[in-house]
Amino acid sequence: MRVVVTNNYQEMSREAARIVARQILAKEDSVLGLPTGDTPTGMYEELVQLDNRRLIDFSKVITFNLDEYYGLPLDHPGSYHRYMREKLFDHVNIQEGSIHIPDGVAKDIEEECRRYEEEIYRYGGIDLQILGIGPNGHIGFNEPGSDWEMTTRLVKLSEETRRRESRYFRDPTEVPTQGITMGIKTIMKARKILLLASGKEKAKATTKALKGPVTKKVPASILQLHPMVTVVLDKEAGSLF
């Protein structure tokens, strides 16, 4: 595991964008696994700039998002569909058909999860999976206690996660109680993983995940067993290292 501690959020974002850019330059039809949240917004801004300066090209890139809320209209301001459009897809030349995000309002959710998982392998699997980490150590919506063997599925969100995510909603009661997420098994099958964390709030979770025992109580700790992980932190998230 390679750990890079940068001076601040902007440096973390630039370093992350460079890693993604190198992946796209090495393989133009790379399959990327993408996260949402506050952490990767700077990375997306950097990627948009690299694309607009024609240093990278998204036209053959395939993307699969990590997760989405269950039951939230796709154009709801809190949805990850909306987030991805606003932060990345509306600003780069990716093809519409190359974008994959779990459909949280699909009629048959079990079928949607199965289809999503199959679609990833139809494209040959994920080349680079980018991840954030929750303050409780979650990755995607795989909350503490999640089984390692799980693939894409419907999950219940912890109250802690719902409370935290309420910043994206007008009213805390609007935050869905469930989400669709790639499972830990799906994530671990990616060829390479890039984990990002920024801010004091993430220092404990990051240290537990990367230096503590591998335990279901800290879902991100499984990454210690992945052969190709790069972790990029800002100084605050890396302060307990």
Instruction: Give the interface with ligand GLP as residue ranges (CB under 6 A).
Output: 35-39, 66-67, 132, 134, 140-141, 161, 165
> What's the number of CA atoms in the CB half-sphere (13 Å) around residue 102?
36
143 carries an active-site annotation: yes
* 76 a catalytic residue: no
Taking the complex as a whole, the smallest distance from the CB of residue 28 to ligand GLP amounts, in Å, to: 26
Shortest Cβ 104–ligand GLP spacing (Å):
12
If the CB atoms of residues 37 and 56 are measured against ligand GLP, the closer one turns out to be: 37
Exactly one of 51, 67, 112, 236 is catalytic; which is it?
Answer: 67
Question: What residues does 211 pair with on adjacent strands?
Answer: none
Least separation in angstroms between residue 141's CB and ligand GLP is 5
Which of 136, 165, 234, 236 does the annotation list as catalytic?
Answer: 136
Q: Which are the contacts of 49, defined by CB distance < 8 A and separation ≥ 6?
A: none
Q: What proportions of the chain, in percent to the nearest 5, are helix, strand and coil?
A: 40, 15, 45
Q: Which is nearer to ligand GLP, 60 or 216 (CB)?
A: 216
Catalytic, 100? Answer: no
- Is 65 tagged catalytic? no
Of the residues 138, 142, 165, 236, only one is catalytic, namely 138
CB-nearer residue toward ligand GLP: 60 or 240: 240
Query: Least CB distance from residue 176 to ligand GLP, whole Å?
Result: 11
Query: Which pair of structure tokens corresponds to residue 235?
Result: 């100084």
Output the six-digit token pair for 123.
């494209």
Q: Residue 166 in contact with residue 95, Cβ under 8 Å?
A: no
With left for phi above 0 and alpha for psi between -120 and 50, is residue 220 left, alpha or beta? alpha
Nearest residue (CB) to ligand GLP, 122 versus 200: 200
Separation CA 199–CA 14 (nearest Å):
16
Token representation of residue 55: 């240093």
Residues with a catalytic annotation lie at 67, 136, 138, 143
